[in-house]
Structure 1
Amino acid sequence: MHGGPGSGKPRSVTPRGERGTGRHSVTVSRPEKVLFAEDGITKADLAAYYRTVAPRMLPQLRGRPLMLERHPDGTGGRGFLQKEIPEHFPDRVHRAELPKEGGTVTYVLCQDTATLVLLADQACVTLHRWLSRADRPDHPDRLVFDLDPPDDDFSRVREAARWLHGLLDELELPSLAMTTGSRGLHVLVPLDRRAPFDDVRAFASDVAAVLAGRHPGRLTTEARKKARAGRLYLDVQRNGYGQTAVAPYAVRARPGAPVAAPLTWDDVEDPDLGARRWTLADAERLRKENPWSPAPRPRSLTAAAARLRRLGP
Structure 2
Amino acid sequence: PDHPDRLVFDLDPAGDDFEAVREAARLLGELLDELELPSALMTTGSRGLHAIVPLTGRYDFDEVRAFARDVADTLADAHPDRLTTAARKKDRGDRLYLDIQRNAYAQTAVAPFTVRPRPGAPVATPITWDQLDDPELHARRWTLADAVEQARTNPWSGLLNRGRALGPARRRLHALRG
Q: Tell me which of 302, 306, 311 is aligned to 2:171.
A: 306
Give how far 1:270 is off. 1.7
Q: 1:258 corresponds to which residue?
A: 122
Q: Percent identity?
A: 67
Q: How does 1:174-185 map to 2 (within 5 A)?
A: 174-185=38-49
Structure 1 contact 264–292 (Cα < 8 Å) conserved: yes
Name the structure 1 match of 2:156. 292
Q: By percentage of residues, which structure has more strand?
A: 1
In 1: Cα distance, 2:60 partner to 2:148 partner = 37
- TM-score normalized with structure 1 length: 0.55
Aligned counterpart, 1:67: none
Residue 57 of structure 2 corresponds to residue 218 of structure 1: no
Specify the alignment match of 1:188 in structure 2: 52
| Structure 2 Cα separation of the partners of residues 142 and 225 of structure 1 | 26
1:154 counterpart residue number: 18
CA distance in 1, matches of 2:13, 2:148: 30
Question: 2:68 pairs with 198, 201, 204, which one?
Answer: 204
Letter in 1 for 2:29: H
**Would you say how many aligned residue pairs link Structure 1 and Structure 2?**
177
- Greater helix proportion: 2
- List, as ranges, runs of 4+ consecutive aligned residues in structure 1 with deviation greater than 4 Å: none
RMSD between superposed Cα atoms in Å: 1.1
Kindly indicate whether residue 133 of structure 2 is the aligned counterpart of residue 276 of structure 1.
Answer: no
Q: Secondary structure at the match of 1:298?
A: coil
Q: CA, structure 1 residues 278+214, in 2 after alignment: closer, same or farther (shift >3 Å)?
A: same
Structure 1: gaps spanning 5 or more residues: 1-136
Superposition TM-score, scaled by structure 2 size: 0.96
The C-alpha deviation readout for 1:167-225, integer Å capped at 9, x for no partner, is 00000000010000001000010000111100000000000000001111000001111
How many angstroms apart in 1 are the aligned matches of 2:133 and 2:145? 23
Can you give the 5+ residue segments of structure 2 that lack an aligned partner in the other structure? none
Asked if structure 2 preserves the Cα contact closer than 8 Å seen for 1:155 and 1:271, the reply is: no
Q: CA deviation at 1:241?
A: 1.3
Matches within 5 A, 1:6-155: 137-155=1-19
